[in-house]
Amino acid sequence: MNSSFSSQVSAFEIQPAERMQELPTQFFATLVRKANEQITAGHDVINLGQGNPDQPTPPHIVKTLQEAAENPLYHRYPPFNGFMFLKQAIAQRYKEDYGVDLNPETEVAILFGGKTGLVEISQCLLNPGDVCLVPDPGYPDYWSGVALSGARMAFMPLRESNAFLPDYSALSADDLNKAKLMFINYPNNPTGAAAPASFYQDTIRFAEKHGIVVASDFAYGALGFDGQKPVSFLQQPGAKEVGVEFYTLSKTYNMAGWRVGFALGNPEVVRLINLIQDHYYCSLFGGIQAAAAAALTGPQDCVTSLLAMYQGRRDALYSALDQIGWKAQRSQGSFFTWLPVPKGYTSASLADLLLEEAKIVVAPGIGFGENGEGYVRLGLLTPEERLREAVNRIAKLNLFS
Same domain, 373 and 276: no
Q: Which of 258, 279, 297 is the last residue of a domain?
A: 297
Q: Which of 276, 297, 318 is the last residue of a domain?
A: 297
Residue 312 lies in a domain: yes
Same domain, 139 and 40: no
Q: 364: domain range?
A: 20-56+302-395
Indicate whether 7 pLDDT > 60: no
pLDDT digits 0-9 by tens, 273-283: 999 999 998 89
Q: Which of 241, 272, 297 is the last residue of a domain?
A: 297
3-state SS, 158-199, equals CCHHHCCCCCHHHCCHHHHHHEEEEEEECCCCCCCCCCCHHH
- Asked if 134 and 183 count as a contact pair (C-beta separation under 8 A), the reply is yes
Interatomic CA distance for residues 117 and 105, integer angstroms? 18
Sheet holding 363-364, edge to edge: 336-340, 375-379, 363-364
Indicate whether 285 pLDDT > 90: yes
The stretch 38-49 carries a mean pLDDT of: 94
Same domain, 107 and 138: yes
Same domain, 236 and 99: yes
Residue 1 lies in a domain: no
pLDDT digits 0-9 by tens, 239-254: 999 999 999 999 999 9
pLDDT digits 0-9 by tens, 306-316: 999 999 999 99
Same domain, 212 and 329: no
Residue 273 lies in a domain: yes
Same domain, 52 and 120: no
The stretch 31-39 carries a mean pLDDT of: 88
Residue 373 lies in a domain: yes
Mean pLDDT of the chain: 95
Same domain, 68 and 198: yes
Residue 28 lies in a domain: yes
Residue 2 lies in a domain: no
Same domain, 229 and 352: no
pLDDT digits 0-9 by tens, 324-373: 999 999 999 999 999 999 999 999 999 999 999 999 999 999 999 999 99
Indicate whether 29 pLDDT > 90: no
Same domain, 151 and 189: yes
Share of the chain above pLDDT 70, in %: 98
Continuous H helices in 197-333: 197-210, 239-242, 249-252, 267-280, 286-297, 301-324
Q: pLDDT-based confidence at 21, cuts 50/70/90? A: confident
Q: What CATH number is associated with residue 125?
A: 3.40.640.10
The stretch 228-244 carries a mean pLDDT of: 98
- What are the φ and ψ backbone dihedral angles of 351, each rounded to 5 degrees? -60, -40
Residue 140 lies in a domain: yes
The stretch 261-267 carries a mean pLDDT of: 98
Q: What's the pTM value of the predicted model, to 2 decimals? A: 0.94
Residue 12 lies in a domain: no
Domain count along the chain: 2
Same domain, 318 and 267: no
Same domain, 195 and 79: yes
Listed residue (330, 370, 99) closest to 194, CA to CA: 330
- pLDDT at 93 (0 to 100): 98
Indicate whether 56 pLDDT > 80: yes
Q: pLDDT-based confidence at 50, cuts 50/70/90? A: confident
- pLDDT at 224 (0 to 100): 98
Indicate whether 1 pLDDT > 60: no
Q: What CATH number is associated with residue 373?
A: 3.90.1150.10
Q: pLDDT-based confidence at 27, cuts 50/70/90? A: confident
Same domain, 207 and 318: no
- pLDDT at 4 (0 to 100): 54
pLDDT digits 0-9 by tens, 91-124: 999 999 999 999 999 999 999 999 999 999 999 9
